[in-house]
């Protein structure tokens, strides 16, 4: 299934970002920032499939040079909170090959961005190792100022309008669908720019995790974005189950047919036999639950054990270790970057306090790491001690005992429910038999009731039978109702 994603963001100095660094990172290249003297080297970055720059015909020659282009952008912006560039991120259809994806991107960039007067820096990326193998995507960095033969002019505020953005989103969906049909045929998968709400689909949308949250999730560290997606998946699963249930109910309502009272009596007896079997299974489950419950006895107590119980559970220990591994990785990266301190100090254009703050952050992190490792070692030693093993065993027994109690209560509920349904089914069978006998003696009486062809459940089926029989009895003349009551009394007497 093809995927649609069109995400836009602004690269601004107020966020502590620079256009040269962003361009170097996305292209996997090296760019020297003439304004700050800093060199952004991302030549070791992998996953870059193709890069290119598209510019209007009247743009200067340097607009096709990535380093000169973004240095000119930095020099053109004087404000500390200047908006340097806009970035568009697009998901590319994995059903197409590299040449087809590149052609799709180039056509879209020329039509939507270059034709409006923007310079577009394109970087197509392959899926990350260990991630979704279908995640082909492209980063498009766009200039914010009008460009001509003399260079950059005024900013075009219309490019930031919501109307322009919505039009581009719709255009990207249409162009992607057209390319899919051209290369894969009329039955090619299609995408849409509309949200679930706009399409009338009852579904909760997930969010894009991004590189940081994705990396943490892979290490076993749960994030807010990941929690949102997991909650959305649970809610969507509940919605799918509800839809299936509604479809079953609709099919049951649509498929109904006239059933004779003899057939109703037979069905009631069949349901009664099924319910008797269910009751027997519930009784066996109750016996097993009582046996399990008796094996555990009373839960272990003792204040000395409670005083030694840790505030975190074993699952939290595992989560903490995962966080510790993540912090160790951060520490290694900080220690690696700290080796370049001497080069940074000799560069007067760089503010020294930034590097000092980085070193202080590294020291704080190393202290936190030592404390975390100490807490984990203490916890592991306690879990291996006699008291810790006793606590783990007690917790295990408590969990199993609780499960046994729940199974016991569930089995008792099933038995009571089955008994009620069995009594109802037997009563309905007697009523249907009596009405069948009266129908043979009184041809003017109704010959049966309407029932669903595919019952949803035994409870619903018995309720349908009961409602139909009650409506039939109420429609009878008073003398026939009295005769039916007498016949049912004799039938109950014989049954007893």
Measure the CA angle with vertex 438, ends 433 and 443; round to 5°.
Answer: 130
Residue 47 Cα distances to 19, 24, 137, 138, angstroms: 20, 14, 11, 11
Measure the CA angle with vertex 378, ends 377 and 383; round to 5°.
Answer: 95
Return the SS3 of 90: strand
Return the SS3 of 54: strand
Q: Judge residue 20's burial from the number of C-beta atoms within 10 Å of its C-beta, 0-12 exposed, 13-18 middle, 19 or more buried.
A: buried
What residues form DSSP beta bridges with 39? 32
Q: pTM of the prediction?
A: 0.50
CA–CA gap between residue 181 and residue 175 (Å, rounded): 10
SS (H, E, C) 167-184: HHHHHHHHHHHHHHHHHH
Q: Judge residue 78's burial from the number of C-beta atoms within 10 Å of its C-beta, 0-12 exposed, 13-18 middle, 19 or more buried.
A: exposed
Q: Which pLDDT belongs to residue 308?
A: 45
Return the H-helix or E-strand segment holding 60.
none
Q: Which pLDDT belongs to residue 297?
A: 56
Q: Which pLDDT belongs to residue 175?
A: 92
CB atoms within 10 A of CB 440: 11
Return the SS3 of 10: strand
Q: Which pLDDT belongs to residue 392?
A: 60
The answer to whether 37 touches 351, Cβ cutoff 8 Å, is no
- Show the beta-strand stretches assigned E in 56-186: 83-91, 120-125, 137-142, 145-148, 151-155
Q: Judge residue 472's burial from the number of C-beta atoms within 10 Å of its C-beta, 0-12 exposed, 13-18 middle, 19 or more buried.
A: buried
Residues 91-126: b if buried by 16+ CB within 10 A, e if exposed: bbbbbbeeebbbebbbebbeebbbeebbbbbbbbbb
Select the CATH number that applies to the domain covering 6-184 from these four: 3.40.50.10320, 1.10.1040.10, 2.60.120.1440, 3.30.930.30. Answer: 3.30.930.30
- What phi and psi, each to the nearest 5 degrees, are found at residue 32? -95, 125
- What phi and psi, each to the nearest 5 degrees, are found at residue 225? -65, -40
CA–CA gap between residue 275 and residue 267 (Å, rounded): 12
Q: Which pLDDT belongs to residue 303?
A: 40
The answer to whether 300 touches 394, Cβ cutoff 8 Å, is yes
Measure the CA angle with vertex 291, ends 289 and 295; round to 5°.
Answer: 115
Q: Which pLDDT belongs to residue 27?
A: 92
**Residue (of 445, 496, 458, 489) closest to 267 by Cα position:** 458
Q: Which pLDDT belongs to residue 107?
A: 94
Q: Which pLDDT belongs to residue 302?
A: 40
CA–CA gap between residue 96 and residue 109 (Å, rounded): 18
Per domain, the residue ranges of the chain are 6-184, 197-254, 256-496
| Count, residues in the chain | 496
pLDDT along the chain (496 residues), means of 10: 80 88 92 90 89 93 93 90 91 92 94 92 88 86 90 86 88 91 88 71 68 71 77 78 71 67 81 85 85 64 43 52 68 62 51 57 66 68 69 60 80 87 83 79 76 72 80 80 74 48
């Amino acid at each position: 299934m093809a995927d649609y994603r069109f995400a836009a963001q602004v690269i601004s100095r107020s966020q502590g970002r620079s256009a040269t660094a962003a361009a170097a990172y996305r292209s996997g290249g090296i760019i020297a920032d003439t304004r700050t003297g800093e060199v952004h080297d991302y030549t070791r970055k992998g996953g870059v499939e193709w890069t290119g720059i598209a510019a209007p015909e009247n743009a200067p020659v340097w607009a096709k040079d990535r380093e000169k282009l973004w240095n000119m952008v930095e020099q053109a912006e004087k404000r500390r909170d200047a908006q340097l560039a806009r970035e568009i991120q697009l998901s590319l259809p994995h059903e197409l090959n590299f040449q087809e994806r590149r052609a799709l991107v180039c056509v879209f960039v020329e039509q939507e961005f270059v034709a409006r007067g923007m310079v577009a820096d394109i970087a197509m990326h392959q899926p990350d190792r260990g991630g979704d193998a279908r995640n082909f995507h492209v980063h498009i960095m766009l200039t914010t100022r009008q460009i001509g033969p003399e260079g950059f002019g005024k900013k075009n505020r219309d490019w930031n309008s919501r109307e322009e953005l919505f039009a581009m989103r719709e255009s990207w969906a249409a162009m992607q669908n057209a390319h899919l049909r051209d290369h894969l045929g009329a039955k090619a998968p299609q995408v849409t720019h509309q949200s679930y709400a706009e399409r009338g689909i009852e579904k909760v949308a997930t969010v894009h995790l991004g590189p940081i949250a994705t990396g943490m999730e892979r290490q076993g560290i749960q994030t807010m974005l990941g929690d949102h997606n997991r909650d959305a998946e649970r809610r969507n699963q509940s919605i799918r189950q509800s839809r299936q249930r509604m479809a079953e109910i609709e099919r049951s309502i649509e498929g109904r047919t006239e059933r004779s009272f003899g057939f109703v009596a037979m069905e009631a007896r069949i349901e009664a036999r099924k319910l008797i079997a269910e009751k027997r299974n519930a009784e066996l489950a109750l016996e097993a639950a009582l046996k399990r419950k008796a094996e555990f006895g009373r839960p272990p107590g003792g204040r000395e054990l409670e005083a030694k119980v840790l505030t975190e559970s074993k699952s939290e220990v595992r989560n903490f270790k995962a966080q510790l591994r993540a912090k160790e990785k951060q520490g290694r990266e900080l220690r690696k970057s700290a080796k370049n301190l001497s080069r940074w100090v000799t560069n007067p254009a760089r503010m020294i306090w930034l590097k000092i703050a980085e070193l202080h952050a590294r020291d704080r992190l190393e202290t936190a790491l030592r404390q975390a490792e100490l807490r984990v070692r203490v916890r592991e030693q306690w879990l291996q001690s006699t008291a810790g093993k006793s606590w783990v065993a007690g917790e295990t027994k408590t969990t199993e005992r609780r499960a046994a109690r729940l199974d016991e209560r569930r089995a008792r509920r099933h038995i009571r429910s089955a008994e009620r349904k069995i009594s109802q089914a037997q009563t309905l069978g007697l009523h249907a038999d009596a009405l069948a006998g009266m129908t043979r003696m009184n041809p003017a009486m109704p010959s049966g009731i309407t029932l669903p062809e595919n019952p949803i459940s035994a409870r619903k089926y018995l309720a349908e039978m009961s409602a139909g029989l009650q409506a039939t009895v109420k429609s009878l003349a008073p003398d026939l109702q009295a005769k039916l009551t007498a016949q049912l009394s004799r039938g109950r007497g014989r049954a007893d």
